[in-house]
Amino acid sequence: MNKELKKRGLRFYASIYFKIIAQDFKSKMSYRADFIISMLGMILTNISGFVTFYIMFQNFETINGWNYYEMLFLYGFSLIALTPMQCLFDNNWNLRYAVYDGSFIKYCFRPINIFFYFISEVFDVKGLGQLLMGSLTLGYAWHNLGLQMTVGKAFLLVAALLTGSLFMIAIMNLAAATCFWLVNSGFVMVTMFKFTEYARYPVTIFQGIFRGLFTFVIPIAFVAYYPSYIFLRPGLPVLTCLSPLFGIFFFWVSYRVWMLGASRYSGTGN
């Protein structure tokens, strides 16, 4: 069976993934009122962030050298970068419940990658509202900053957004995986998710230990600040240039830790 699993490539998993997502989406659409309310709720939540920046800049012209539209750029960028985690990896929030009640054992006996199978079961449609709000905010900031859009910049923008997404997904993968070792791991997921609110701010506004913490320990600075730096400031910091490689590596580490925990899972004993 292990040899057969290794032979299965991207096409195999892609075909299964879209079938699973289609079924999950159909089930959610059967409750259309819930779908609409969820979308509106996410949009209104993110609008509150927009309003916060507006009120803030009624009293300050800049924040540590960053003006209103630059801050909106980071905010919109972070919302889009968070969308893949919100939409595609939302089932990580349910991992601890599956581990604690023993239902996770079913994933261990299926002839398919455990991580893929568990994650693919849920598609959070609320993330689409976040994507819409992030796209509108980023477009508004882009226009007011006078940035030009070219094919090259469009490619860089997509690459930068994917880089930020990898870091966010990796952070939450690691937080979710703690449930394989900790009995009450819910606080880890909640704490890590709370930290994502700081991704919308430039890391330069933090001092000393917090700047190092948000760069090298809980790397939320790589969710929006470093990937988007290329569009907002002249010159390229080393961390901006290396962020795609760091993002891939960090995601791989989070995947391996998640799989390590899953491989050691033996059920509840009931």
Residue at 174 is within a domain = yes
Flag whether pLDDT at 260 surpasses 80. Answer: yes
Residue at 116 is within a domain = yes
Q: Please, what is the average pLDDT of the chain?
A: 87
Dump pLDDT digits (tens) for 204-240.
888 889 899 999 999 999 999 999 999 998 888 899 9
Hey, what are 262's tokens?
């899953």
Mean pLDDT of 150-162: 94
* Model confidence, pTM: 0.88
Residue at 268 is within a domain = no
Residue at 59 is within a domain = yes
Say which residues have a Cβ less than 8 Å from residue 101's Cβ, sequence separation at least 6: 268
Hey, what are 44's tokens?
């209104």
Asked whether 111 and 1 are in contact (CB, 8 A), the reply is yes
Dump pLDDT digits (tens) for 27-85.
766 666 766 777 777 777 777 777 877 788 888 888 888 999 999 999 999 999 999 99
Q: Which domain holds residue 173?
A: 2-263
Q: CA 104 to CA 21: how far, in whole Å? A: 19
Q: CA 257 to CA 260: how far, in whole Å? A: 5
User: In the prediction, which pLDDT does 86 show?
Assistant: 92
DSSP letter at 249 equals H
User: In the prediction, which pLDDT does 269 show?
Assistant: 54
User: In the prediction, which pLDDT does 170 show?
Assistant: 97
Total residue count of the chain as it appears in this document: 270
Number of domains composing the chain: 1
Asked whether 86 and 80 are in contact (CB, 8 A), the reply is no
pLDDT band with cut points at 50, 70 and 90 for residue 248: very high
Asked whether 94 and 7 are in contact (CB, 8 A), the reply is no
